[in-house]
Structure 1
């Protein structure tokens, strides 16, 4: 008997711009997410999952590369100065690994990495979007190309809203499964990324939206990215009415997405696949949407660097939450371990299985994140670096030769509203966190060191 037949399936749901706490079951009572709430009840949630950041304003690109390779930011992609950055040929990608292990791999939705990397990963697919963003009702897509070329003259504009388009493609794949071969289904929605145009039946009344406690009309200082594309989606200074409308549209996109997730889960039930399918729900990064006077994700506050991470299925305890610090790319070895796949030597992630099973309560002692500063492109004199150790978080900024830091006590100030950097009592802590950050930068060969040496 083929031993792959007993392996659990994987339904991997990746979304775009979904902030870690924009789920009702995780504390946000203004957004309706009944199906994600169901996943939280039936699975395990890692509530403090961070991305390691980005060397590009398109944060989704390196974030997805880290997830796909299980490698840290400066090792996930090659140094070639092209966009999107390629993933090296010798580095195994997650779906590629499962494909080689006998899984039927199928990809639909957003792939913001090179087309050749998609071709290595998937034996099938449909409604494939190579790019960062598009209008949700006019997505340029490809059918699956068995030759892996995806020439531009084969691209066409889909006729469905993106969430319906990609979700229906995944549902169609699930309906064809007979249980004879395990599958790895990668469903990458572009929602809730802008342009945020939810269907009318999912619209929220902006007058019923509560303004975030950390709303500001403008960011208190120049962080180096004050006028990037995401930041000019709303006028300056930000006003309460404008931000409430943006949040209403954001929630509408999430609730529409949640409905499609519910259909995917129902299809698993209808096909008799749910019991042997690992479901993963996560995002590539968060989003500010008015917090700290910002709109986008080109910053290192928690609203932009933390993502939802929910797992459900065989071997996953129900209705459990863990607040241990972890990276999104820790999912790579986690899924390998949960499916008895060998972890490739290129992996740099730490499996979450012991944490998920309750065998330990901590995972990483510190977390780091990055924005900007590369060896080749983007404004080299403007970058941000972050370290979190325990409850304290330091963000360091460099903007055209000017340097400053912020310090937050996240236990008492989870919305990062009270900067402690000028507190004399915190100077030893700041010095220590600077040392921790500098040591990590040396360890990972951070390009920013070249700019300060």
Structure 2
């Protein structure tokens, strides 16, 4: 049997918005059920906490520095092999719906065919956060024709996806369904939930980092939670349509997000930092091969997800992909992969972070411009957190005299992981003694 493959992709969703990660508001019953009955990737991390690089990695299975898409505003190179190319080569119909963010940044209308990543069916906006609003959604089809979709933006996209699923076809499909929710509305820097939803969270529970730190959390968290709830309802509708159409047993479903959201507690915006609030995302798999009900507890990078989808469809994983399929882990086979992940950080800095089960270590390139410079030859310590003792990353130990040995080990491991990612092995050094705070 050749399975269908569906990616349900949200934008800027924190991992702890979900019930399986401890959120008490019941925002995500459909995701929680998918995680419990399928495979919950408990410790899932983006490889780059900003939109375009993360999306490029999910399309190609390659590091942002390898494709050149190391920051926003750099289109995916024409001819770069994507999942669409891989699935189309073996007869799949490929379709993309929603936010793309891998074409030229000045594209407000249709994306040129050569910048569509090889997808056959197409209903998108390149920069949906700038070209739509909560109840105003215009997407462009493969002919370049605009479609004004009614209703709340997430519902409009869901309606289009369900209509696509209902179409008669004689070959399997690969559908990448890319929501904007719960990303902020850039034009006014707010989080527009559906009418009546933000009011449900007027006295919200807050994760530890947001409760402890300044930022704009209390202004925006109610709307953010309302957006998360609605997009989870959309997941329920999509999976319900698969059930109704008799496709559930034949369809691999991946749910994940491009990055998280720290509500201006770590820098002047919402992501682009080493903290779990920026890099840790909800991820689950369901469908053929993933009905185990057993979580994956090792650390997983976004780069592991494209090879997992190909493997689940019985397709070979190209050697040039930088991640590794999770299917052997799902089947309970011995796991030789390292239990840590590397994160590249751009725009706000030229930074690199290493996440292990216990430690978060990050280093930055002094004086480097994160907008023009993809990588550096030298990095210095910036952050160290003991996640066992400080899961909300409130106490930076990078200057702690008692952690010098730990820092030395993590510097060495970070340099190794950077080299494994195809960059020149850098010099990673202690920060100057006069650095404070």
- Shorter-chain TM band: 0.7 to 0.9
Deviation at 1:217, TM superposition (A): 7.6
Deviation at 1:356, TM superposition (A): 1.3
2:249 is aligned, of 252, 275, 295, to 275
Q: Could you list the per-position Cα deviations for residues 80-106 of structure 1 after superposition, in whole angstroms to 9, with x for gaps in the alignment?
A: x993332351x3201221112111112
Deviation at 1:411, TM superposition (A): 2.4
Question: Given that residues 11 and 280 in structure 1 are in contact (C-alpha distance below 8 angstroms), is that contact kept between their aligned partners in structure 2?
Answer: yes
2:297 is aligned, of 319, 323, 328, to 323
Q: 1:209 to 1:76 in 2, by over 3 A?
A: same
Aligned to 2:125: 129
Deviation at 1:303, TM superposition (A): 1.2
How do 1:78-117 residues align onto structure 2 when only pairs under 5 Å count? 83-89=73-79, 91-114=80-103, 115=111, 116=113
Deviation at 1:216, TM superposition (A): 6.9
How many Å separate the matches in 2 of 1:320 and 1:329?
21
Q: Does 2:251 correspond to 1:255? A: no
How many Å separate the matches in 1 of 2:114 and 2:284?
26
Aligned to 2:382: 405
Question: Given that residues 17 and 27 in structure 2 are in contact (C-alpha distance below 8 angstroms), is that contact kept between their aligned partners in structure 1?
Answer: no
Q: 1:358 to 1:296 in 2, by over 3 A?
A: same
How many Å separate the matches in 2 of 1:78 and 1:395?
21
2:20 is aligned, of 5, 25, 28, to 25
Partner of 1:13, secondary structure, is strand
TM, length-normalised to structure 2: 0.84
How many Å separate the matches in 1 of 2:418 and 2:292?
38
Q: 1:41 to 1:69 in 2, by over 3 A?
A: same
Partner of 1:215, secondary structure, is helix
Aligned to 1:426: 403
Deviation at 1:331, TM superposition (A): 1.1
Aligned to 1:11: 6
Aligned to 1:386: 353
TM, length-normalised to structure 1: 0.81
Deviation at 1:346, TM superposition (A): 2.4
Which 5+ residue runs of structure 1 have no aligned equivalent? Answer: 1-5, 219-236, 373-377
Aligned to 1:161: 152
Deviation at 1:398, TM superposition (A): 4.5
Deviation at 1:294, TM superposition (A): 6.3
2:183 is aligned, of 186, 193, 207, to 193
Question: Given that residues 111 and 118 in structure 1 are in contact (C-alpha distance below 8 angstroms), is that contact kept between their aligned partners in structure 2?
Answer: no
Q: 1:444 to 1:275 in 2, by over 3 A?
A: closer
Deviation at 1:329, TM superposition (A): 1.7
Partner of 2:16, secondary structure, is coil
How many Å separate the matches in 2 of 1:391 and 1:270?
43
Q: 1:66 to 1:82 in 2, by over 3 A?
A: closer
Q: 1:164 to 1:357 in 2, by over 3 A?
A: same
Partner of 2:409, secondary structure, is helix
Q: 1:348 to 1:316 in 2, by over 3 A?
A: same
How many Å separate the matches in 1 of 2:292 and 2:268?
36
Q: Does 2:406 correspond to 1:437? A: no
Q: 1:443 to 1:11 in 2, by over 3 A?
A: closer
Q: 1:120 to 1:396 in 2, by over 3 A?
A: closer
Deviation at 1:440, TM superposition (A): 3.1
1:38 is aligned, of 33, 40, 48, to 33
How many Å separate the matches in 2 of 1:345 and 1:251?
40
Deviation at 1:210, TM superposition (A): 2.4
Aligned to 2:435: none
Deviation at 1:262, TM superposition (A): 0.8
Q: 1:102 to 1:357 in 2, by over 3 A?
A: same
1:63 is aligned, of 54, 58, 63, to 54
Question: Given that residues 52 and 72 in structure 2 are in contact (C-alpha distance below 8 angstroms), is that contact kept between their aligned partners in structure 1?
Answer: no
343-352 or 401-410: which moved more? 401-410
How many Å separate the matches in 1 of 2:151 and 2:417?
45
Partner of 2:184, secondary structure, is coil
Partner of 2:228, secondary structure, is helix
